[in-house]
Amino acid sequence: MKGLLSFLSFLYMMILTLGCSNKQAEKQIKMPMLFDTKEQAEKEAHKFDCEGAHQMGDKWMPCNMHKHNQ
């Protein structure tokens, strides 16, 4: 009986985990985030809900500033 309860708890957690998938985040991860020119990064900024661009090394990223933990 204890094994069955453990299995059901595990199954319940797996269902909850799979149900919480964020398709929008998966889509954003697949979008290029580094660009060769500032103009390219500015053009793509709307896809990240921001404006402008900032330099990252020798590349450019969308948004005026680097956002962490979104």
Q: How far apart are CA 61 and CA 33, in angstroms?
A: 6
Query: pTM surpassing 0.85?
Result: no
pLDDT tens string 9-60: 766 666 666 655 555 555 555 667 899 999 999 999 998 899 999 999 999 9
Q: Which of 44, 30, 26, 68 is nearest to 60 (CA)?
A: 44
Greater model confidence, 35 or 67: 35
Q: Give the HSE-up count for residue 53: Cα atoms under 13 Å, Cβ half-sphere.
A: 20
Backbone angles phi, psi at 22, to 5 degrees: -110, 95
pLDDT of residue 69: 37
pLDDT of residue 46: 92
